[in-house]
Amino acid sequence: RFIGITTAPPDAILGLTEAFAADTNPQKMNLSVGVYKDASGQTPVLKCVKAAEKWLVENEKTKGYLPIDGQADYRRHVRNLIFGDCVESDRVSVVQTPGGTGALRVAAGFLNSQLAPIRVWISTPTWANHNAVFTSEHVPQEAYRYLADDKKSFDLDGMIDDLTNNTRPGDAVLLHACCHNPTGVDPTAEQWDQIASVVAEKRLLPIIDFAYQGFGNGLAEDTVAVRAILKVCDEAIVCSSFSKNFGLYSERVGAISILSGDAEMAGAVQSQLKTLVRSNYSNPPRHGAAVVATILDDADLTQMWHDELTEMRTRIKRLRQQFVETMKKTGKGHDFGFLLDQNGMFSFSGLNKMQVDELKNKHSIYIVGSGRINVAGMSEDRMDQLCAAIADVIEN
Ligand code: LMR
């Protein structure tokens, strides 16, 4: 029966971590998957997380199933962090999901089960898994322009032109709230207002992928896109994740939040989301959400989280700076100054596929095929090694 099953290609991002694990070069460096590493090269468990886990070990009463839509106080915190007091809370349906990918998959399922036929417009380029998630739920996809031809700046005119002239009313549009993955290139607040007014005028359904809150300019500052959309749209979907900002990658903690026109619609939406979840993974995992809720229920732990998040964000900015300066010092005139305008974990280096392959094959340095580098994985100590290798592949 299984004769004829062919081997699937490795995943564009996680497949590289598998290849990295098998690489025997002691000088290897993994700058592919978006995971923060501290100065010692570790992906640390935040101190606030450790404290919450200690509290949970002593006080958690059960490992029984969570409700289909997740833990209530966790859902309340998600709503506050993303929406603040911008909208009436009873208009927002929140469902806890296994990570941001789980949220996107539930969103795609919702489009398919409730809103089909509906197309989704996705930026060029985008996160390597976006298309696959929507394809899995049979949602047809179209591409809008995002990165300018110089591969360094935002193509506002191209994006506005595509959304204005090529979409149909009722289509969905996938937006990256901040720290665009893979480019790190974000619209300004004014540009978000322009984008939001086209989304509203064309009656597009915004789906906001919000995986990096706090990694751009701060927790509140990074809601700029969400606020621009909420000002002008009655309906919106937000897919969020605590993988990065709480460092809870493997605990799979995310949420889908859907804004509806009124509380009654929000109730119906919530019920449909629960139906989707039940036939998929039944109900979400408890631990990560319990950690997040424990931290956000406690003022001291919340402060500790804010401090630790600020430390991660500022260190990434410093690494960007150091990278740009070290590239300059190679003396080969490589100006990567444009990286300083990019936000979040990732930088779009402009390296082509051949150069990316050479970095891997000759130097055991792993970055994503699109040229995306995980700045959050760089280390101060190994910057010279990294920059020398990049200079080498650019020159060959
Ligand atoms: C990334 O883009 O590297 C992260 O979002 C992790 C992933 O699942 O791809």
- Rounded mean pLDDT of the chain? 96
Cα 317 from Cα 315, distance rounded (Å)? 5
Residue 331 has pLDDT above 80, yes or no: no
Domain assignment of residue 286, yes or no: yes
Three-state secondary-structure class, residue 145 = strand
Catalytic residue chosen out of the listed positions 121, 186, 222, 244: 244
Residue 282's pLDDT is what? Answer: 98
The secondary element (H helix, E strand) that includes residue 76 is helix 72-83
Nearest-atom number in ligand 1 for the CA of 129 is 9
Give the model's pLDDT for residue 333: 76
Same structural domain, 278 and 320: no
Give the pLDDT of residue 332.
76
Mean per-residue pLDDT, 235-242:
98
* Same domain membership, residue 234 and residue 113: yes
Task: Report percent pLDDT > 70 for the chain.
Answer: 100
Q: What's the mean pLDDT in 349-361?
A: 94
- The pLDDT, as a whole number, for residue 171 is 97
293 and 378, same domain (yes or no): no
Confirm whether 320 is domain-assigned. yes
Q: Are residues 211 and 277 in the same domain?
A: yes
Give residue 73's pLDDT: 97
**ipTM score assigned to the predicted complex:** 0.95
Residue to probe by mutation, ligand 1, list 30, 33, 126, most atoms within 8 Å of CB: 33
> Which ligand 1 atom sits nearest the alpha carbon of residue 101?
8
- State yes or no: pLDDT of 271 exceeds 80: yes
Q: Is 127 a catalytic residue?
A: yes
pLDDT, residue 16, reads 94
pLDDT at 334: 85
In this prediction, residue 330 carries a pLDDT of 83
Residue 58 lies in a domain: no
Tens digit of each residue's pLDDT (9 = 90 or more) over 66-98? 999 999 999 999 999 999 988 999 999 999 999
Q: How far apart are CA 304 and CA 45, in angstroms?
A: 13
Judged by average pLDDT, the poorest of 162-166, 293-297, 330-334 is: 330-334
Confirm whether 50 is domain-assigned.
Answer: no
Residue 201 belongs to what H/E stretch? Answer: helix 189-201
Domain count, the chain: 2
Question: Residue 321 is part of which domain span?
Answer: 14-45+314-395
Cα–Cα distance, 135 to 111 (Å, whole number): 12
In this prediction, residues 116-123 reach a mean pLDDT of 97
Q: Is 121 a catalytic residue?
A: no
- pLDDT score recorded for residue 102: 98
Q: Buried b / exposed e across 72-110, counting CB within 10 Å, b at 16+?
A: eebbebbbebbbeeeeeeebbbbbbbbbbbbbbbbbbbb
